[in-house]
Structure 1
Amino acid sequence: MMRNKLSKLFNAIGLFKHPSTSQSHGFASNVRNERSSMVTPEPCEQKAITPTAEQTYEEWLIDHPSALNSFEELMNTAKGKKIVMFLDYDGTLSPIVNDPELAFMSDAMRVALREVAGIFPTAIISGRSRDKVHGFVKLDEVYYAGSHGMDIMAPPRKHKAGDYNNYQPPVAVEKDNSVIFQPAQEFLPEIEKIYDELEKATKELKGVTVEHNRFCISVHYRRAEEKVHSDVKKVVKEVLKKHARFHATTGKMVWEVRPSIKWNKGNALEYLLDTLGLAESSDVLPIYIGDDRTDEDAFEVLQKRGQGFPILVSQNPKETKASHSLRDPSEVLTFLLRLAKWRKNSGL
């Protein structure tokens, strides 16, 4: 009975031809006979299976694991080390928004950042002007480096390595006496000219805004129609033809025009470590969190030093020198809160 039912099932789904013999030699023998009389399937086209975005991201995480999922492992490494925090602003402490003037940081992020800065030396290194970033963050407990590190507010005195154990965050009075380091001062007059030229050249390009960041110029086109994007590139290239000492780099829907000097976010990180008296320390552990292509310079510095954790903020897989990752600013917030809690609970 069972054999007949199976045979009917096989016939119904088109696997076998009807058996040609009526005599049975038992179930196994009958299956062998039926198997030998299988219909040869027609060849079918092989279709490539394209991995989903989530699958691709999960594969990327193998090499750049989540800093949240790896938190305990990271903190085991951090025990007994001198942690110094470095963070980008846009896309890290605040979400990327269409209007760069509205890139506000949440109150929750500000509270978390203040808490971390009260425990560890903390600096924000941004492509924005230093004053503008300070206006967004509104904290005196952190150091600021604007214009991709070309405008740095450093401690008023160079610290010694031993000062770390008695670290006190900067306060408003100390800020007034702080050292301002600006390696691109000589370029300021030409930067003003470039800003005026870009303003004039993009005036008719709807959705394009030019932002003056003191030592660099940002041309934003996130709000522009796609057909305008190539026009923006053309304008930037044409303006730069008249200014040989400058170059342009691309970011997230933005062109950045900067002086062509050997100075970037990685140099800013090293400069701040030096002023904190930790540049030569064997037990310093810098943590740099950023989302932009310009943050790769800082990631590379940490990679070469063999110290610290470069952490990329991204929801998409990309080439990076970062060792770990976080998806978005909400995960950055969680990481900062956990870091502050870990430090308090460790009793160090």
Structure 2
Amino acid sequence: MSDAPRIVSWLDDWLAGGGRLLLLLDYDGTLTPIVETPHEASLPGTMRDDLRALAGRPNIRVAVLSGRDLADLRERVGVSGLIYAGCHGLEIEGPDVTFCHPEAEAQQETLGVIGEQLNKRAPTVPGMLVEPKRFGLAVHYRHVARDQIRRVETELARAIQQGGSRLKIFHGSQVIEIQPQVSWNKGDCVIWIRDAVQRMSTAPLMVLYIGDDWTDEHAFEALAGQGITVRVGTGVPASRAAYRFPDVAEVQRLVGTLAARPAGGTA
């Protein structure tokens, strides 16, 4: 059973009592289903309309987070008035907020070299896809034969060795992410956004974070006891999130329900 109905009920009561809501949403696998290749992940038109409606509410702030580049994320969502966080929070931009991790900027050139090396090697591993980012790289292996996945890791190790830099490497949903070795993740990102939004008003703030991937676990941990956390999907044996939604459709229903509420009724 989904936890969405009771969460909506809590939020209705909170907003009716004069509180504010910070709604933090992951993109791939949360706002959009996981697809075969990254460029296919498009936001449904109804979801875009609902996000636009929420962006116009004075007591609700919406932030969309992703491992994607900030520019790519903003273009895919296409809603003004939201806070966008790209590259797992290394760059943040929105109304009255902006952040770019200085240590990440310093390693852009090295990441570019590694990306070039990986692109040269990609044809030797059928199905391997290299996604360049401003502050990182993603190596997708969804279409790589199971007995060839170790080759993806081997080619990645060779490219990093040639790049000659300390980097952070972690696994997502059939993807290996490479980032600058900085002390920053989605948990740090959501706390930074929360604090920035909190300073904008004296009204109490409720935080709701919804995500589906391993990288979202940092955010769940950071918000433990300080907000509502939801993991999307079934079959995940353990999560730091307090609640579960079975699928992306349930996220869309929650966002749609909030957007359909009369603005005056949730003020």
Higher strand residue share: 2
How far apart are residue 244 of structure 1 and its match?
Answer: 4.0
Alpha-carbon separation, structure 2, partners of 1:278 and 1:287:
17
How far apart are residue 252 of structure 1 and its match?
Answer: 0.5
Does 1:276 pair with 2:214? Answer: no
Measured at CA, do residues 327 and 278 of structure 1 come closer, stay the same or move farther in structure 2, by a change above 3 Å?
farther
| 1:26-51 alpha-carbon deviations (Å, 9 max, x no partner) | xxxxxxxxxxxxxxxxxxxxxxxxxx
How far apart are residue 324 of structure 1 and its match?
Answer: 1.1
For residues 119-198 of structure 1, the aligned pairs below 5 Å read 119=57, 120-156=60-96, 179-183=98-102, 184-198=104-118
Alpha-carbon separation, structure 2, partners of 1:148 and 1:280:
26
CA RMSD, Structure 1 to Structure 2 (Å): 2.3
AA aligned to 2:33 is P
Structure 2 contact 12–266 (Cα < 8 Å) conserved: no
Alpha-carbon separation, structure 2, partners of 1:253 and 1:138:
26
Identity, % of aligned positions:
31
Structure 2 contact 82–95 (Cα < 8 Å) conserved: no
Does 1:255 pair with 2:166? Answer: no
How far apart are residue 235 of structure 1 and its match?
Answer: 1.9
Partner of residue 82, structure 1: 20
How far apart are residue 122 of structure 1 and its match?
Answer: 1.1
Alpha-carbon separation, structure 2, partners of 1:233 and 1:68:
42
Q: Give the gaps of 5 or more residues in structure 1.
A: 1-60, 158-178
Partner of residue 66, structure 1: 3
Measured at CA, do residues 281 and 324 of structure 1 come closer, stay the same or move farther in structure 2, by a change above 3 Å?
farther
Partner of residue 301, structure 1: 222
Alpha-carbon separation, structure 2, partners of 1:195 and 1:140:
31
| 1:249-308 alpha-carbon deviations (Å, 9 max, x no partner) | 0001100001111111111112222332449979321111111111111111110xx222
TM-score (structure 1 length as normaliser): 0.69
Partner of residue 113, structure 1: 51
How far apart are residue 345 of structure 1 and its match?
Answer: 6.5
Structure 1 contact 251–292 (Cα < 8 Å) conserved: yes
Partner of residue 160, structure 2: 240
Structure 1 contact 155–276 (Cα < 8 Å) conserved: no
Alpha-carbon separation, structure 2, partners of 1:140 and 1:329:
22
Alpha-carbon separation, structure 1, partners of 2:158 and 2:96:
41
Partner of residue 338, structure 1: 257
Alpha-carbon separation, structure 2, partners of 1:222 and 1:90:
14
Q: Size of the alignment, in residue pairs?
A: 262
Structure 1 contact 67–311 (Cα < 8 Å) conserved: no
Partner of residue 214, structure 1: 134
Q: Give the gaps of 5 or more residues in structure 2.
A: none
| 1:98-122 alpha-carbon deviations (Å, 9 max, x no partner) | 1111111111111111112222111
How far apart are residue 203 of structure 1 and its match?
Answer: 2.2
Alpha-carbon separation, structure 2, partners of 1:267 and 1:281:
22
TM-score (structure 2 length as normaliser): 0.89
Does 1:320 pair with 2:239? Answer: yes
Partner of residue 229, structure 2: 310
Q: Secondary structure at the match of 1:68?
A: helix
Alpha-carbon separation, structure 2, partners of 1:272 and 1:99:
29
Find the structure with the greater CA-based Rg.
Answer: 1
